[in-house]
Chain A
Amino acid sequence: MAALVLFNGYYWAPQGKYLCLPVLNCYSCPIGTVACPIGSLTTFAILRRMPYYIIGFLALLALALGRGFCGWACPFGFLQDLLYRIRSPKWRLPRAADAVKYAMLVVLVIGLPLALGGGKEKGAADRIAQEGTRAYDYCALVCPAGTLETTVPSLATKPDLRAQASWRTWSKMGLLVLILGLMVVSRRGFCRALCPLGALMALSSRVTLFQLRTDPEKCTHCDRCIAVCPTHSRRLPARPGELEASSECVMCLDCLRTCPEAGALSAHLGGRTIALSGGQPSA
């Protein structure tokens, strides 16, 4: 909730837009505070320019906190948690669905803009200055954050835009409805299956400083942590001390809060224990 306000602050919006924070929050929205890393990456791909700044910035954050941003700071994650509370039949996505977001990242965010954008030689910078990146920004065609935070308010407040709305606008709206439906029936279904930003951050899961560990001597295999995991990624380690680095884990720590055994589960930041299960204070 705090992140939602922080990333959509009208008064400080212009100052923060050079920051590509790994949260899904549309930068086309006038009150959006930070730049969209996916949109920025796409622009650099269209220009065929290496995004040193974006890679460095995102990789440093990923090294420090991994997908902790997905679990604690992403406004779209918050929306998913809210929508999942609606009473409805619930559905668990198949494991194979996890791969779709990687395809989205490789094909829509990088591959197609890189291949078709044309780069500097074909005047991509001038085209972007004149008409924006719309022609080559394929991810924006399917991005529910963009539709929800920009298209919907624009259509609602500007009748002339409503009159000009094309098939593309209405197909984006249809897709948004489908994705919102997915959020109601599948917990964090968008994070798991469709979010290209989640795919990018998931690459850091084995090297990040923010890690979960299970003490096999204290774990009673009640499996409550597995049942409560929003991304269905929780598994018990095969060997003592093994890292539980699932790329789908958003580090929400629901498992740790649910675990009844004191100290069976622990969260670590850079080797320091920051939280223990069973209501124990951290060391």
Chain B
Amino acid sequence: MPKKRWIAFALLGAVFAGLLVYGIATGDALYVLKNAQNFCFT
């Protein structure tokens, strides 16, 4: 894979990893879990 492509990939990966961490810090992951549990028919 060309070096430019690796750099672009690393930058995109860093941005998305940042979004993921920010989302976890702001409680998104817990909200996703709560929402999924609310939806669950038992």
Contact = CB atoms under 8 A, between A and B. Distances in A.
Q: How large is the interface on A (under 10, 10 to 19, 20 to 34, 35 or more residues)?
A: 35 or more
A247 interface: no
17 contacts: A18-B33, A27-B40, A30-B42, A35-B33, A39-B36, A52-B20, A52-B22, A52-B23, A53-B19, A53-B23, A53-B24, A56-B17, A56-B23, A60-B20, A128-B35, A133-B39, A207-B12
B22 to A, nearest CB: 5
Contact of B8 (A17, A55, A59, A207): A207
Contacts of A52: 19-20, 22-23, 26, 28
Contacts, number: 100
A32 B40 contact: yes
Contacts of A28: 39-41
Nearest to B22: A52
Contacts of B39: 27-28, 39, 132-133
Contacts of B12: 59, 63, 207
Given A30-B41, A32-B40, A132-B38, A56 B16 contact: yes
Contacts of A63: 9, 12-13, 16
B41 A150 contact: yes
Contacts of A36: 36
